[in-house]
Structure 1
Amino acid sequence: MTIPGTARLHDHLAEAIKDPDPIRVGDDLICLRFETMKVYSALGAVRHLLETGAVRTGDTLIDSSSGIYAHALALACHRYGMKCHIVGSTTVDKTLRVQLEILGATVEQVPSSNNLQLDQNLRVRRIAEILRDNPSYHWMQQYHDDIHYLGYGAVADLVDQVAPAGPLCLVGGVGTGASTGAIAAYLRDRGRDVNLVGVQPFGSITFGAGHTQDPEMIIAGIGSSIEFRNVRHELYDRLHWVSFDYAMSAAVDLLRTSGVFAGLSAGAAYLSAVWEHQCDSSRQHVFLAADTGTRYVDSAFSRHAEARPMNSMRPREIDSLEQLAVPWSAMSWDRRESALVRREQFPSATPSH
């Protein structure tokens, strides 16, 4: 609903908070700052499931999350009259958990772990147990189902509007693939020249860094120790692997220099985008800040005195995955496919729904 001469009136909070704020944080560098980015993914997926009859109003939707998707799915379920069950990691803090519970979601968390593989395996194993006891539940499978690409067409439209005509470079966490990959695919469908730079944590198997480990802590949500089948490797031009230490330092710098208070994945994307712009200033660079920095206050921002200066951090440019090394490595991926991708499930770069 739009009231003439006033701001738009939304029918639900999910619709109000999904749109990002595009913020110029440097020459030819734009930050897309979301409150919770995956609202696009969750709203688009739930709406499609209802429209196709795969689920009905009142059904229970279940999934695993390190935090951002949990909030998004709970809001989407609240918006469309669904029940919600979240199996979360310990990064789902008290502030978020209380919100989820009041929204009507059932929330349970796996035991604390600083190991990416153990954390994700425990969550997926718990979902399997719940589905055995509740076969009517619908597993959203944010890690595997390309239905989660659908909502990001609107983000691509926004990028197309705010970024001047010409070559683009989009930088952000890979995660499940249904964010950076989806936005880039939609932009390319619209005729934009887009280089896609994915950001990963050390320890993620998605692009072959399973043999590495961050000595500090995992950066939630942008990597995986288990196969994420909806990551389309052939969409990516470059990859950056960033440690907690460097991501924290960049997130602090982003807040200090621009006022943007965003999470660790945003810090890693900002760091990578600044470097990519230094290497190729012919492109407008856009990076994603997928959530606010609230849940990282204790683990990261409270350590701001330890933050490294931006100009002291440089990536190790590598030619092979065997050369990966903490704290920061970068590599040209050149839109190659991966043996992890099940091509029969995802035959093209364009979302099929």
Structure 2
Amino acid sequence: MMSVHTLMRRLEEFEGPRLVPLSATLFSASFFLMKLLPARFMLERAVEQGRLRPGGIICESSSGTFGLALAMLAVQHGYRLILVSDWALDRHLHRRLIELGAEVAIVDTPAPAGGLQQARLDRLHEYLRDIPGSYWPSQYDNRDNARSYGKVAEKLIDRVGKVDCLVGPVGSGGSMSGTSHYLRTLFPDLHAIGVDTPGSVLFGQPSGRLNLSGLGGNILPANVDHSQFDEVHWLTPVEVFQATHQLHRQHGLFMGPTSGAAYRVAEWWSHNNPDKKVVVLFPDEGHRYVETVYDQQWLATIAGWPSPLPACPITVGAPSEPMSAWSRFSWRRRTLQQVLERAGDGLNPGGGQSNGF
């Protein structure tokens, strides 16, 4: 009889990234579905700790690839999965989740604070309250999210050797916080760059409407370890979509918009630091975005499209400044509170301390 761990690892071959050279010193870590790695790791740990039992019920909030990863794992191992999502859920992904047996609840009305993200969490807590013994992976706050990326750091070291700079999009915070933490055990001078979008509270922007799935957020996850970041960049949706097409046309990599955003920043940093080895994280492929980011009719409905990509970012004096174009800020491995206090914003971020591992 197969052990639980053997069953869980049936999808392990899909977890790791393909290392694709984009130039002599710039490498992409391109994932089929990055969230498979933390999802499996979290479920394994929950089984070990007795928080998830055979045939158990998993409840989670997701409008993207973490929900898909859970659905793929749940159907293999006989778990019931309840996902709380919102209008941003891609209709093809929605259909696939249903096909995999997931129960999907859609939230339409944003919460007064925290928007749709908080509204989803409120609905999720209703399920957790009403279903005794249900397990919540809690991708935003579960430390095992970041811990799972030790495997990615190990592969990067094995294939690339010394990594001077790591660039990646930030959503739940696990991939960048975890990978940079583990890489720094060997490369303490690693330069880590987080990529976000205006209107996202993750690095101190005032909360606003977000139009980029998987990038940024209206609530601050505990897994965003601000002290891991040397630099943060914010790209607008139009800039992200342009960069996604540029990545596809120049390198043949059909990736999602979070990958496009990270690519633009990594390519710029690599060009300005030609003697440094740069690795950029590409979380998922572009199939979910065929009718949006890769569709010219849909793009024509986006304000400002098509605008040319700026050659370089604007350097801002504080992360809370209004940002209408690609912007950057020197974070210097500080907590969110330290950055905002230094900038004199007088804001109470309610988090941002180093999480540790």
Distance 1:230 1:60, change over 3 A: same
| Cα deviation, residue 322, structure 1 | 4.0
- Over the matched positions of the two proteins, sequence identity in percent amounts to 30
| Cα deviation, residue 13, structure 1 | 5.6
- Matches of 1:327 and 1:309, distance apart in 2: 11
**Structure 2 counterparts to residues 3-22 of structure 1, below 5 A:** 14-22=11-19
The gaps in structure 1 that reach 5 residues or longer are 1-9
Match of 2:327 in 1: 329
C-alpha offsets along residues 30-87 of structure 1, whole Å, 9 cap, x if unaligned? 1111111011110111011111222212111111112110011112323443221111
The RMSD of aligned alpha carbons is 2.5
Match of 1:76 in 2: 73
Question: Is contact 1:63–1:127 with CA below 8 Å preserved after alignment?
Answer: yes
Distance 1:76 1:287, change over 3 A: same
Distance 1:12 1:95, change over 3 A: farther
Question: Is contact 2:8–2:73 with CA below 8 Å preserved after alignment?
Answer: no
Match of 1:233 in 2: 226
Question: Is contact 2:177–2:228 with CA below 8 Å preserved after alignment?
Answer: yes
Does the alignment pair 1:35 with 2:45? no
C-alpha offsets along residues 315-335 of structure 1, whole Å, 9 cap, x if unaligned? 111121243412211011000
Letter in 2 for 1:64: S
* Partner secondary structure for residue 138 of structure 1: coil
Distance 1:11 1:149, change over 3 A: closer
- Matches of 1:78 and 1:20, distance apart in 2: 23
- Matches of 1:100 and 1:16, distance apart in 2: 21
**Structure 2 counterparts to residues 176-215 of structure 1, below 5 A:** 176-191=172-187, 193-210=189-206, 213=208
Letter in 2 for 1:316: I
Distance 1:90 1:13, change over 3 A: farther
- Matches of 2:15 and 2:84, distance apart in 1: 22
- Matches of 2:8 and 2:57, distance apart in 1: 22
Match of 1:265 in 2: 258
* Total equivalences in the alignment: 333
| Cα deviation, residue 222, structure 1 | 2.1
Match of 1:299 in 2: 292
C-alpha offsets along residues 243-286 of structure 1, whole Å, 9 cap, x if unaligned? 11000000000000111011111111001111212332232111
Which segment drifts farther, 232-241 or 150-159? 150-159
* Partner secondary structure for residue 155 of structure 2: helix
Distance 1:231 1:315, change over 3 A: same
Question: Is contact 1:67–1:89 with CA below 8 Å preserved after alignment?
Answer: no
Match of 2:124 in 1: 127
Match of 1:341 in 2: 351
Instruction: Give 2:92's match in structure 1, choosing from 95, 101, 114.
Output: 95
C-alpha offsets along residues 113-152 of structure 1, whole Å, 9 cap, x if unaligned? 7x99422122111112212221321111111111212321
Question: Is contact 2:16–2:31 with CA below 8 Å preserved after alignment?
Answer: yes
The gaps in structure 2 that reach 5 residues or longer are 1-6, 338-349
- Matches of 2:257 and 2:284, distance apart in 1: 9
